[in-house]
C-alpha cells in the first residue's frame, strides 16, 4: 500500500438560507421551534500532486428561483484559493441535487465522479414523485447525462480509492446514491459527509433530515461516517453554519468565505 498523501481541505461557503423551523431540519421536528440556518458549501481537497473539487454548488439562477441567497460564486471562491475551475481535472459529485451539481459546466476539463446508484435514481422511477424529485433540477440531470455520452462521467459502484489518501464511500439515505469523501490530512482522516449529515445535530442526536429517500440507510450512514473518520469531530456535515465557526479561515481575507478543515477544530 502506498503511503497516503496528506491533503489540505477547504470548505467554501457560497450561500445561506435562514428563517427555518425545526421541522425543516428534522423528521418529527417541532414546526413552532426555530431551526438552524443552512449554509451551502463546495469543498476543495488539494495535495502537492492532486486537486479534487467536491461538488459545484447551485447555479445562481436556480438559487434565486428557489429563494436561496448566494454570497459568492463557487468558482470565485475556488479562484480565491488559487484554483481555476476551467483547469480542474477531478470533480466529485456527492449527489445530483441542485445545490451540489449546478455549475458543472464551469469545469470543462473535469471528469465527474458519481455513484451508479445516483444516476439510476435521478433518472429512474422515483423521479415521478414530487417528494423525491424536488431537490433535483431536470435540466441539470439531463446535462449530466450528456456528459455521460461525452465520456466525462466516471461511475463508481460503492467504495473506491481515487488516489492514495482520498476515497469515496456510498452512503445512500438522503438520496439513493449519495457518497461521502474520506480524506487523509495531517490531523488524520477527515470525512466530508455532504448530505449524509446536513447538521452536526442530525448526526449527534440521531435525528434524520426530512429530505430522505431511505431512512434506514441514512441512520446506518451515521455509523459508517464514524467508522471512516479518525474521530467524531473529523466528520464535516454538509450544511451546518457551525463549520464556519469551528474552523479557521486560511487567511484573514477569506474570513466568512472559506475555512481549513485539515486543522483542528476550535479557535
When asked if residue 99 is in the footprint of Zn ion (CB under 5 A), the reply is yes
| Number of residues forming the site for Zn ion (CB under 5 A) | 2
Question: Nearest distance from residue 58's CB to Zn ion, in Å?
Answer: 9
Stretch that binds Zn ion, among 69-77, 98-106, 113-121, 225-233 (CB under 5 A): 98-106
Closest to Zn ion by CB, 65 or 264: 65
Contact with Zn ion (CB under 5 A): which of 55, 90, 195, 201? 195
CB of 99 to Zn ion, least distance (A): 5
Whichever of 99 and 118 has its CB closer to Zn ion, that residue is 99
Q: Is residue 39 close enough to count as binding Zn ion by CB under 5 A? A: no
- The CB-of-60 to Zn ion minimum distance in angstroms stands at 16
The residue (of 51 and 94) whose beta carbon lies closer to Zn ion is 94
Q: Which stretch binds Zn ion (CB under 5 A): 79-87, 93-101, 199-207, 220-228?
A: 93-101
> Which of residues 39 and 75 has its CB atom nearest to Zn ion in the complex?
39
Strands of the sheet containing 235-237, edge to edge, are 160-163, 166-170, 179-185, 188-194, 235-237
- Tell me which residues touch Zn ion (CB under 5 A): 99, 195
Amino acid at each position: 500500500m502506498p503511503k497516503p498523501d496528506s491533503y489540505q481541505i477547504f470548505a467554501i461557503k457560497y450561500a445561506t438560507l435562514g428563517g427555518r423551523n425545526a421541522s425543516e431540519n428534522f423528521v418529527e421536528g417541532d414546526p413552532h421551534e426555530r431551526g438552524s440556518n443552512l449554509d451551502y458549501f463546495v469543498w476543495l481537497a488539494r495535495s502537492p500532486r492532486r486537486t479534487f473539487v467536491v461538488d459545484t454548488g447551485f447555479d445562481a439562477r436556480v438559487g434565486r428561483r428557489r429563494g436561496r441567497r448566494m454570497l459568492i460564486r463557487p468558482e470565485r471562491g475556488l479562484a480565491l484559493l488559487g484554483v481555476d475551475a476551467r483547469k480542474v481535472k477531478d470533480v466529485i459529485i456527492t449527489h445530483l441535487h441542485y445545490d451540489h451539481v449546478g455549475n458543472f459546466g464551469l469545469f470543462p476539463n473535469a471528469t465527474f465522479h458519481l455513484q451508479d446508484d445516483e444516476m439510476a435514481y435521478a433518472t429512474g422511477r422515483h423521479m415521478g414523485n414530487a417528494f423525491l424529485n424536488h431537490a433535483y433540477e431536470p435540466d441539470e440531470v439531463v446535462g449530466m447525462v450528456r456528459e455521460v455520452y461525452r465520456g466525462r462521467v466516471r461511475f463508481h459502484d460503492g467504495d473506491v480509492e481515487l488516489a492514495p489518501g482520498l476515497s469515496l464511500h456510498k452512503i445512500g439515505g438522503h438520496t439513493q446514491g449519495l457518497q461521502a469523501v474520506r480524506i487523509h490530512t495531517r490531523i488524520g482522516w477527515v470525512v466530508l459527509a455532504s448530505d449524509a449529515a446536513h447538521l452536526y445535530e442530525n448526526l449527534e442526536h440521531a435525528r434524520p433530515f426530512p429530505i430522505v429517500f431511505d431512512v434506514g440507510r441514512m441512520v446506518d450512514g451515521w455509523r459508517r461516517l464514524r467508522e471512516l473518520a479518525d474521530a467524531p469531530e473529523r466528520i464535516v456535515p454538509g450544511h451546518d453554519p457551525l463549520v464556519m465557526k469551528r474552523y479557521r479561515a486560511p487567511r484573514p481575507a477569506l474570513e466568512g468565505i472559506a475555512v481549513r478543515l485539515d486543522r483542528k477544530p476550535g479557535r
